[in-house]
């Protein structure tokens, strides 16, 4: 695991994590970066053609029916059922609940490895965006734990989440963001040669 690979993971995890976790108003600089052509040249994963296709989606911040803020509210907050819930335990728990067994397993793993993501409210640690930011922290501070975090706690459900988000987001920016995340997580898996844990998926 060389320094450049870790830097690539850290940078891309921070950008994507913030875009998935925070409202657009809170990360206007990241939204501005991703909706411009500049990001693609330096993004370390995917072909130029793949990034160009994704870039066209990310450039659309308003549709006839919805603003970017409204799409974020619908996809990540509610009040109605989310088309693709961003919490790992919804996918991995038979009851499709937040704070399920897989969340508790992640929390135990974090405590054992002295990882604290400093949540400001009582919320599950296995939110997709939070977990990406955790990946960045681990890549920077404890890279020997990176494979375990990805193989056991993120990758077993992440691609299912991203596939469903792509299919049901109905807003170009978030479709593109899901595609970029999928491309990037595939790049992490390949560069680190991760053997992903086989876990049953319960959310459909």
Query: What pLDDT sits at residue 54?
Result: 98
Taking the C-alpha atoms of residue 110 and residue 201, their distance in angstroms, rounded to an integer, is 22
Residue 204, domain member (yes or no): no
Rounded-to-integer distance, Cα 178 and Cα 156, Å: 16
Task: Specify if 198 maps to a domain.
Answer: no
> Residue 132: what pLDDT?
98
Q: What angle do helix axes 172-192 and 48-58 make, rounded to 10 degrees?
A: 150
CATH number of the domain residue 161 falls in: 1.10.3480.10
pLDDT tens string 166-191: 999 999 999 999 999 999 999 999 99
Quick one: which of 163, 157, 135, 160 has its CA closest to 148? 135
Nearest to 154 by CA among 112, 184, 119, 176: 184
Q: Is 16 in contact with 86 (CB distance < 8 Å)?
A: no
Residue 41 in domain: yes
Within-domain flag for 136: yes
Tell me whether residue 199 is in a domain.
no
What is the number of structural domains in the chain? 1
Q: What are the φ/ψ torsions at residue 106 (nearest 5 degrees)?
A: -65, -45
- Domain presence at residue 39: yes
The domain in which residue 111 lies consists of 3-192
90 part of a folded domain: yes
Query: What pTM value is reported for the model?
Result: 0.96
**Do the domain assignments include residue 73?**
yes
* Confidence (pLDDT) at 120: 66
- Which residue positions in the chain have pLDDT lower than 70? 120
């Amino acid at each position: 695991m060389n320094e450049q690979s870790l830097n690539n993971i850290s940078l891309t995890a921070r950008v994507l994590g913030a875009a998935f976790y925070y409202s657009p108003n809170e990360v206007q600089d990241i939204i501005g970066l991703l909706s411009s052509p500049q990001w693609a040249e330096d993004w370390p994963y995917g072909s130029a053609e793949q990034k160009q296709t994704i870039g066209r989606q990310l450039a659309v911040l308003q549709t006839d029916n919805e603003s970017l803020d409204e799409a974020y509210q619908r996809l990540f907050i509610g009040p109605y059922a989310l088309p693709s819930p961003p919490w790992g335990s919804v996918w991995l728990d038979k009851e499709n609940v937040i704070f399920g067994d897989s969340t508790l397993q992640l929390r135990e793993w974090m405590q054992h490895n002295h990882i604290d993501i400093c949540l400001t409210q009582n919320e599950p640690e296995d939110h997709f965006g939070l977990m990406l930011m955790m990946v960045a922290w681990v890549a920077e501070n404890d890279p020997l734990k990176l494979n375990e975090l990805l193989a056991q706690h993120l990758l077993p459900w992440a691609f299912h989440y991203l596939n469903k988000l792509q299919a049901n987001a109905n807003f170009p920016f978030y479709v593109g963001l899901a595609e970029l995340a999928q491309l990037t997580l595939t790049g992490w898996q390949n560069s680190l040669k991760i053997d992903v844990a086989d876990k049953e998926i319960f959310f459909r």
